[in-house]
């Protein structure tokens, strides 16, 4: 009895001490608090060889990621326990979402999801104003669903920092992303501000974030184009294990397994019909819960015959409404360089293009120059490693330096690329 009472007093004392320290820390000037956060940085430039960072693509990997996320969200009060033991959202079903994982000796010990903007948007845009981010230009992705196994949360960032580095590298070089946005609990926002230079999207926290069981949230963004200079300014003089500039921007970790791509695609979809059926029909009622509009949008995204049996059934009216948005030629997201040659009376004009979408009948590209409409020219496009195509094309629409091109008689390289993208629904198929 006395021992129990003594333990209770000791626990109360520790709690009181911790609360006092937190209050003192909160009262310290912002630069002091940021300096304290940065003092805890410990990024190992040579992680253990048994640590592997990769895209989660198998049923086992995805289930482990969703299970880890479920437990972390339940423990934090961000969701109620689910009978499946997983946290799986509609965004995980989309080809524009990539789930990254960290594995040690084959066991998933960390995960994070990257959600590119699509017809479904992304979770935080419903409650945060992104106009200032959009004005800068460039694609936006939400970083979400971060979880680290409890056994590795007190290891000085041994899992978190490699996972974050993987996320930075993947977003900047493979995901065609300029801005990453987050929605985090108010008591975590200063960690992202101090360590990673996120800027708040609005001055006050949102009272209720439905995507996390009504928990309060603060939105923030980071411009990946500006990040290298910010990191260098603060971390450049620091020694190696505390130098996040060197760690994120210069160091190459052999633990990271980046995707192999035949073409310069910007997504790495993994959801086969079997995986969609398993996670959204068998293990959870994810598809069943969708409203008619979202069901119709799913059918426009996965408009291949093999997906139809596992997609949610639509009412006749919804089917009729969904038929109209389907494109005659499905588009595929890429990021590849191109050159347009136009023969004018005054001579040959050469324009540099950045192709961002292609289809069997055309493509969309960005160009800093104003391009004339309805004038045929020759376009050289670098579709992938050793994959160069030359097509005859003309601009049929233009808006804010983005141009839609119609092509005439695509060559064999173009046709082969489109055929591979049409036949391959996951990133693994696109490497064939």
- Distance CA(249)–CA(241), nearest Å, equals 14
pLDDT at 224 over 90: yes
**Structure confidence at residue 363 as a pLDDT band (50, 70, 90):** very high
Other C-beta atoms lying within 10 Å of the C-beta of residue 23: 9
Which whole-number Å values give the CA distances from 325 to 135, 297, 303, 318, in the listed order? 28, 9, 11, 12
pLDDT digits (tens, 9 = 90+) for 188-202: 899 999 999 999 997
Read off the pLDDT band of 323 (50, 70, 90): very low
CA-CA distance, 86 to 84, in Å (whole number)? 5
C-beta of residue 220 within 8 angstroms of C-beta of residue 194: no
Whether residue 106 is predicted with pLDDT greater than 90 in this model: the reply is yes
Choose between 15 and 401: higher pLDDT: 401
Measured between its terminal Cα atoms, the distance across the chain in Å is 70
Residue 228 and residue 244: Cα distance in Å, rounded? 10
SS3 state of residue 370: coil
Please report which confidence band the pLDDT of residue 205 belongs to, taking 50, 70 and 90 as the band edges: low
Q: How far apart are CA 8 and CA 6, in angstroms?
A: 5
422 vs 247 pLDDT, higher one: 247
Share of the chain above pLDDT 90, in %: 66
- Considering only 156-170, 197-211, 294-308, which range has the smallest mean pLDDT? 197-211
Percentage of the chain surpassing pLDDT 70? 85
With b meaning 16 or more CB within 10 Å and e meaning fewer, what string describes 180-197?
bbbbbbeeebbebbbbbb
* Average pLDDT score, the chain: 87
Mean of pLDDT values over 287-302: 92
pTM, full prediction: 0.85
């Amino acid at each position: 009895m006395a021992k129990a009472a003594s333990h209770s007093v000791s626990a109360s004392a520790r709690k009181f001490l911790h609360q006092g320290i937190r209050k003192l820390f909160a009262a310290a000037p912002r630069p002091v608090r940021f300096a304290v956060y940065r003092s805890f940085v410990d990024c190992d430039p040579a992680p253990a060889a048994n640590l592997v960072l990769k895209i989660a693509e198998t049923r086992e990997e995805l289930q482990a990621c969703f299970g880890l996320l479920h437990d972390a969200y339940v423990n934090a009060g961000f969701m109620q326990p689910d009978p499946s033991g997983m946290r799986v959202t509609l965004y995980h079903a989309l080809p524009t979402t990539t789930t990254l994982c960290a594995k040690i000796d084959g066991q998933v010990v960390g995960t994070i999801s990257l959600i590119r903007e699509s017809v479904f948007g992304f979770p935080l845009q419903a409650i945060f104003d992104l106009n200032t981010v959009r004005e800068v230009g460039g694609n936006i992705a939400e970083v979400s669903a971060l979880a680290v196994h409890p056994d590795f949360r007190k290891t000085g960032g041994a899992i978190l920092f490699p996972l974050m580095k993987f996320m930075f590298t993947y977003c900047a070089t493979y995901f065609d992303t300029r801005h990453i946005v987050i929605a985090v609990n108010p008591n975590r926002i200063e960690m992202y501000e101090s360590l990673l230079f996120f800027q708040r999207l609005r001055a006050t926290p949102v009272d209720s974030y439905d995507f996390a069981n009504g928990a309060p949230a603060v939105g923030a963004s980071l411009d990946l184009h500006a990040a290298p200079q910010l990191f260098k300014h603060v971390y450049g003089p620091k020694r190696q294990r505390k130098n996040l500039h060197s760690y994120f921007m210069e160091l190459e970790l052999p633990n990271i397994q980046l995707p192999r791509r035949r073409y310069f695609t910007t997504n790495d979809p993994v959801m086969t019909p079997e995986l969609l059926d398993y996670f959204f029909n068998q293990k959870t009622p994810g598809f069943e819960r969708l409203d008619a509009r979202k069901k119709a949008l799913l059918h426009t995204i996965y408009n291949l015959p093999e997906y139809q049996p596992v997609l949610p059934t639509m009412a006749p009216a919804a089917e009729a409404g969904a038929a109209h948005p389907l494109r005659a030629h499905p588009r595929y997201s890429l990021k590849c360089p191109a050159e347009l040659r136009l023969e004018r009376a005054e001579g040959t004009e050469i324009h540099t293009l950045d192709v961002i979408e292609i289809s069997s009948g055309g493509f969309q590209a960005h160009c800093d120059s104003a391009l004339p409409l309805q004038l045929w020219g020759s376009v050289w496009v670098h579709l992938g490693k050793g994959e160069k195509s030359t097509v005859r094309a003309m601009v049929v629409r233009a808006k804010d330096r983005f141009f839609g091109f119609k092509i005439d008689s695509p060559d064999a390289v173009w046709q082969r690329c489109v055929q591979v993208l049409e036949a391959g629904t996951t990133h693994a198929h696109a490497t064939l």
